[in-house]
């Protein structure tokens, strides 16, 4: 679908399903090779597509719920809200950041980026994960947990 231009990016991560069902995966491949039972393999593969699509739909629904919740918190940030929205756009693409990246991405000072990140910590959007005094790394934990 991606190579034919129907999708910009792959949306079904079938590898996870195959990894979790590794024995059935290999059994299905063996059945095709040994007894030419392609119907069994197709049923297995379609089941993988269905279950992965359902999981993807639930994940997307939960992302939208999280987004709405965070949008409400951003509104309360007043004049910082515009840059807070820009950080959120970055976080959905890259859910682990540091202050330097944030400053560069938003074209603001290190101090302003640090203050925004502190606000995000206060609102439980970001969590510091290194326990360093310098070069701290922050993650958008609730977003990562959805995956």
* Contact between residue 106 and residue 82 where contact means Cβ atoms under 8 Å apart: no
**Tokens 């629904």 found at:** 61
**Tokens 């606000």 found at:** 119
In order along its 147 residues, the chain shows pLDDT tens digits of 677 776 677 777 898 999 999 999 999 999 999 999 999 999 999 999 999 999 989 999 999 999 999 999 999 888 999 999 999 999 999 999 999 999 999 999 999 999 999 999 999 999 999 988 888 999 999 999 998
Q: Residue 82, Cα to own-chain centre: how many angstroms?
A: 22
CATH ID of 76-145, from 3.10.129.10, 1.10.10.10, 3.40.50.300, 3.10.180.10:
1.10.10.10
What's the pTM? 0.76
Alpha-carbon span 72 to 85, nearest angstrom: 11
SS3 15: helix
Position 7 scores a pLDDT of 67
Query: Which candidate, 42, 39, 62, 51, places its Cα nearest to that of 12?
Result: 51
């Amino acid at each position: 679908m991606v190579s034919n231009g129907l999708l910009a990016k792959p949306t079904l991560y079938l590898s996870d399903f195959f990894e979790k069902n590794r024995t059935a995966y290999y059994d299905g491949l063996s059945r095709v090779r040994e007894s030419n039972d392609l119907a069994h393999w197709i049923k297995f593969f379609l089941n993988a597509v269905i279950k992965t699509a359902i999981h993807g739909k639930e994940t997307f629904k939960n992302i939208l719920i999280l987004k709405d919740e965070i949008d409400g918190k951003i509104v309360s940030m007043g004049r910082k809200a515009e840059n807070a929205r820009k950080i959120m756009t970055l976080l959905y693409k890259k859910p682990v950041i540091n202050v330097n990246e944030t400053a560069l991405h938003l074209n603001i000072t290190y101090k302003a980026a640090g203050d925004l990140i502190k606000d995000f910590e206060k609102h439980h959007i970001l969590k510091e994960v290194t326990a360093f005094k310098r070069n701290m790394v922050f993650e958008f934990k609730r977003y990562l947990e959805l995956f």
